[in-house]
Structure 1
C-alpha cells in the first residue's frame, strides 16, 4: 500500500490530526506510527489488514504500525448536492517518541494492547462514549498535558476486554508497493458494487488478469479468496442493517447482493457463527465503559 509519512516534530511525541472533510481519504495506505482514531461523523466501509467491515459515528480504531487500511465513506458522502460531513480525530505516535516511555513495567497493559493493535482493533459506539469527550479535548491542551492525558486514556483502554480484533493475523500483510493501485481499485469496486451480483471475470478485468491469475494475486496479498472477501463485506453490511433497520431478513439479504436466502443464511452463519435472526435478537447495546483514570 501507499506509505504515508506522518509529520514529525522534534519537540512533540504525539501528532494530532482533526479531519472534517466531505469524505475520508479513500486510498489504501499505511504508516509507521500507531494510530488511535475516533470517528465522530460519517459512515462507510473499511478495509483493515485485508479485512472488510463497516464503520459508523462513534467507532474507535487502534491500528498498529504499518497496518494497511482505508476508510471509504458511503456514496452519499460523494454527492455534491447532499454535502454531508466526515469527521475523525486521530492521534499518531511512534518508536521515536511516546513508545520509549512505555518500556517501564508499569505500562505492560498498554504494551499488550498495542501489540494486539497489529491486528487492527475496533471499539464499538456504546463502549467508546467517554472517549468521544476526552479525545477531542486534547486539541485544547498544552503539549505536556496532551501526553499525560493520552497516557491515561491508553491505560483505561488497556483495561477493556472486549476490543474486537479486525484481522485474525498477528502481523500486517504488506503488499508490494507496485500492487497498491490494483488493491485500491479492487477494494473500491467491492465497496461500490457488493449490493449486486459480481462476476469473477468482471473483477479480474479491473486489474487486467485472467480469472485464475487474479485469484492467485488476491489470495497471496490478502490471505483470503476474493469470494471470501466479498462475502465478508456483504455480511458485515448485513450485520449493521439488522441492528439499524427494521427491514426483514429477506429484504436485507437482497439489499446486500445475495439472490438466494439460503445462501445468505449459510454465509452469515459461517462468518458470524450464528443466524441473522439470532444476531438481531442479541444485538443489544453493551454496558458503557468509563475511561476515567
Structure 2
C-alpha cells in the first residue's frame, strides 16, 4: 500500500540528507511518495521498480532523480547481493526550500536550479554524466559535512543542464482508475513469484472477475495474464544475467511452475531460449 512519507533533513544541522546503506534486499521502503527530491544510486543489487506510471527492471550502476510527489519503490532480487548478502545504495534527499535558499545565497545557481525545478518527471542518467555522478556520489561517503556541500552543489549543476538522461517515471493522474491500476502493479511486483489467480487479484482490488478483465484490458491493452507472463519473463532475464542460478531454478523463482512452458514463453518473447539469452548478454555490464 502506498505510504505518504516525507523525509525531513535536520534543518538545524544539515542542508540535505545523505544516506549510504548496506541492507538486506527485503528492507527497502515500500511504495511511497514524499514532498522532497530524491537522488538514488544503486551500487549493488537489481530487480524491478515502480516510479509513477512506469514499472521496469533496474540494475546496479543506475542513478535516478525523482521529483517531489511521485510514488516509487524498488523491489530487489534476493539472489543479487554482495558477499555479505546485502544490497548497497546511496540516497540524497533534499527539499525545494533548500533549492530556494541556494538561489538566494548563490545567485549564480539561479538558472541551473530553475531548470532543475521545471522537470516534473523521474529520470535516469546515462553516458559520461552517469560516470561523473557515480564518482561524485561515491566520494561523498568519505567526506565530512562541509565537503559534501561542495560535492552536492557540483551534482546540482550537472543534473540541472543534463541532456544525457531518459524518463523512467511520470506523475500519476490521481484518479480512481489510475490508483487501481497502480495497486495491481504493486501486487504483481510483490507476488509474481507465486501463483496468482484471477479470483485472487480481482478480490484484491475489489472487483468481479469479469469486470477486472475488462478494466485491465482497457487500461493496458493486454490481458492480465499476458502482462503477468511478460513481467515474469523480464524478471527471469535479470536473474539469468545477474545470478548463477540454473534455468530450472530461475523458472521457479520467477513464478513459472512448468519448465517447458517457461522455455516456450521465453523464446516467444525474446526470440531465443533462456540459455542462449544468458550466453549472449551475460558479459554485458552496466557501468
Counterpart Cα distance in 2 of 1:218 and 1:108: 43
Contact 2:46 2:238 in 1 (8 A): no
Deviates most, 235-244 or 24-33? 235-244
Residue 139 of structure 1: CA displacement?
Answer: 4.2
- Measure the CA separation in 2 of the matches of 1:61 and 1:69: 11
Match of 1:51 in 2: 54
CA–CA separation in structure 2 for the residues paired with 1:172 and 1:114: 18
Which segment drifts farther, 29-38 or 183-192?
183-192
Matches within 5 A, 1:1-293: 1-11=2-12, 12-23=14-25, 24-76=27-79, 84-102=85-103, 104=107, 106-116=109-119, 118-123=120-125, 128-167=130-169, 169=170, 171-174=171-174, 187-193=186-192, 199-214=197-212, 230=228, 233-234=231-232, 236-237=234-235, 240=238, 259=261
Q: Sort the Cα spacing of 1:105 and 1:266 in 2 relative to 1 into closer, same or farther, 3 A.
A: farther
CA distance in 2: counterparts of 1:73 and 1:260, whole angstroms: 22
Q: 1:137 to 1:197 in 2, by over 3 A?
A: same
Q: 1:143 deviation in Å?
A: 3.6
State the alpha-carbon separation in 2 of the partners of residues 96 and 235 from structure 1.
Answer: 43
1:47–1:218 Cα change, 3 Å:
farther
Q: Distance in 1 between matches of 2:121 and 2:162?
A: 16
Which whole-Å deviations, capped at 9, do the CAs of 1:185-217 have from their partners, x for residues lacking one?
Answer: 8524345426x8855434213344323454687
Q: Distance in 2 between matches of 1:154 and 1:228?
A: 41
Alpha-carbon RMSD? 4.6
Aligned length: 269
**Residues 2-38 of structure 1: CA distance to partner in whole angstroms, max 9, x if unpaired?**
0112133233321112222112425110111000011
Change in 2 beyond 3 A, CA 1:156/1:18: same
Structure with larger RCO (C-alpha < 8 A, sep 6+): 1
Distance 2:127 2:142 in 1: 24
Bigger Cα Rg: 2
- Cα deviation for residue 268 of structure 1 reads 6.9
TM-score, normalising length from structure 2?
Answer: 0.68
Which runs of 5 or more structure 2 residues have no equivalent in the other structure? 245-249
Is the Cα contact below 8 Å between 1:57 and 1:125 reproduced in 2? Answer: no
| CA–CA distance in structure 1, aligned partners of residues 85 and 128 of structure 2 | 23
> Which blocks of at least 5 consecutive residues in structure 1 are unaligned?
247-251, 270-275, 289-293
